[in-house]
Each structure stands twice: as C-alpha cells, then as structure tokens.
Structure 1
Amino acid sequence: MLGELNENQIEELLKRQVTGRIGCHADGTTYIVPINYVYREGYIYGHSAEGKKIEMLRKNAEVCFQVDDIERIDKWKSVIVWGQYQEITDGKEMQKAMQEIIRHIMPHMTSENAHPSHGITEDESDIGSSIDLILYKIRIDKKTGRFEDQATL
C-alpha cells in the first residue's frame, strides 16, 4: 500500500531522524548533500564549515530537504520539506543550536573518538578556534510525506 503521511507522522519522522539530504540550487547547478540535523519547532538546524553547500545557500536561500526511514524496499517513509536557509549569527542562538545538535546526534555515534564536527576538524577542540563553524536553520514553509508498506495489503 502506498499512501500519504499525516501531519503527526511527518513531525515524528523529522524529530526522530538524524541524517537528511539538503538540496540547493545556484548558478544553474543543483547540489544535494547529506547533513546531520535536529528538528525543533518548525526549523531544521544544521552546521557546516565553509564550502560548496554554504556558498550556494548564500546565493539562493530556497532549500529542499528530504529525510527517510527505510526498513525494507517495500516498507519505508519519506518526508520532503521546502523552506528558507538562514545563517545563525546570534551567539546565544548559535550555542543553543549546537547543543541541541550534539544532544540529538551523539547517541547515534558509535566510535569512542567520534565528535559532532563529523570530520570538519580532526580534534573537537579545534571548533571555534581554527575552524569557523557555520550554524544555520531552515525555516520550513511546506512539507509532505509518503509511505509504502506492502505488509498492510
């Protein structure tokens, strides 16, 4: 059976997952890349170092974001949202966003050497000193969800 997720199911999937894909478009190029995130109160929060994704998002703030939960090829849920990229520059908001991202992601990290910079730096202590970490949020304007579950036939 194929179907649409209701609002509560969409919210639950966005809150539960830690990795999604952000799609951006600028200068005739579309770019899709996975990100780790946290979802809170209508916003997706993420972090990044400078690079292609941030450069493109600064040129065109319109974003598409996709997250899914795939149990099997015939049993999955998927949510797509559209919204606006906004860099977080307020110190208190940056700190709160990073703390929420860390709390959300850390339970899913299996290596004892893992830290939430995800390879942006070799050492967690480098964040904020040798690397300028960019924190951002995506204000969600529209969302939709679909599912397939062949077991319900």
Structure 2
Amino acid sequence: MLIRTLGKLECTKVLAENRLGHLACAREGRPYVVPIYFGYEGNCLYAFSMPGKKIEWMRASPVVSVLVEERGRGREWKSVIVDGNYEELPDRFQRNRAWALLSKYYDWWEPGAFKPVTPLMADHSDHVFFRILIDQLSGREAKETDLLP
C-alpha cells in the first residue's frame, strides 16, 4: 500500500466529483460531526440545512472542517479535508446560486431537511443556505502497489 499527498488540483477534483461530506464544527470545546450534501464551485462548498444544532454551533463558531472521501478498488481511497469558515447566504442571488448547484440532484435537500422528530407547524423555521469559504485544502490517497517485478 502506498500513501501519498494529493496536490491542490487533485483535491479540487475530488470535491468536484463528490457531493457527500462530513462537516465538523465545535462549540465550547465540544466537537460535532454530521453528513451534508454539498456543491463545489470556486473556492466554496455550498450546502443547505434546516435550523438546528449544526447551524447554531456554526453561527457561534464559524471555523469548520469538511471531510470528503472517495472509495477506489479494493483498499484504495482518497480523502480531502477542507478547512474553512461558515457563511450564511441571506442574499437572494447567492441563495439562488447555491440552489442551482445543489438541485442538480433529486435528493439535494437530504440530509439537511431531515430531523429526528418532526417539528410542530407552529415551530416552523426557514431553511438555511450556506457556504464554507475554503481556507485550506489537504488530501491523501492510498494505492495498491505490486511488489512483484
């Protein structure tokens, strides 16, 4: 098995070719990790959620990370870590751009719209479109090696 570091272009290719990531945020020294669907464009990951714990935590502490993984043949894999900052998209143009990126897939609103318990209608909250402004990208890849000549 050979492990190597991915270059920036290779990392961005992984982001462009995938849409499921694991978002990590923290509040008061406690970590929280959840799956998100995202769209990648420019230097940002775009996503959607209903208000809840992750939105509350990111509003309180906007520094976040996202892990994106890609499985290969056998034991091969690639992983990219995005370090960045959470930013809500209140502007209609920005929200429409995020929607256009995400809505290319029929289930774009999952898992951000699902909650463990269905809220009462009186508790209805607006949905949140947001982006992660990328500060740093890093990635690794594992490849099977043939030790025989």
TM-score > 0.5 by shorter chain: yes
- The 1:50/1:77 distance shift into structure 2, 3 A limit, reads same
Q: TM-score, normalised by structure 1?
A: 0.82
Q: Which residue of 1 aligns with 2:110?
A: 118
Q: 1:147 and 2:141 equivalent? A: yes
Aligned pairs for 1:1-153 within 5 A: 1-72=2-73, 74-103=75-104, 105-106=105-106, 115-118=107-110, 120=113, 131-151=125-145
What is the total number of aligned residue pairs between the two structures?
A: 136
Q: Considering fraction of residues, name the structure with more helix.
A: 1
Identical positions, percent: 29
Aligned amino acid, residue 92 of structure 1: F
In structure 1, list runs of 5 or more residues that go unmatched: 107-114, 122-129
Aligned amino acid, residue 70 of structure 2: D
Q: TM-score, normalised by structure 2?
A: 0.85
- Verify the 8 A CA contact 2:51 2:125 in the aligned structure 1: no
Tell me how far 1:151 sits from its aligned partner.
Answer: 3.8
Mapped partners of 1:98, 1:63: distance in 2: 21
Question: Any runs of at least 4 consecutive aligned residues in structure 1 with deviations exceeding 6 A, and if so which?
Answer: none
Superposition CA RMSD, Å: 1.7
In structure 2, list runs of 5 or more residues that go unmatched: 115-123
Answer with 1 or 2: which has the greater Rg.
2
Q: Which residue of 2 aligns with 1:125?
A: none
- The 1:10/1:152 distance shift into structure 2, 3 A limit, reads farther
SS in 2 for 1:80: strand
- Verify the 8 A CA contact 2:85 2:132 in the aligned structure 1: yes
> What CA deviation, in whole Å up to 9, does each residue of 1:35-80 have, x standing for no partner?
0000100100000001100000000000011101012562000000
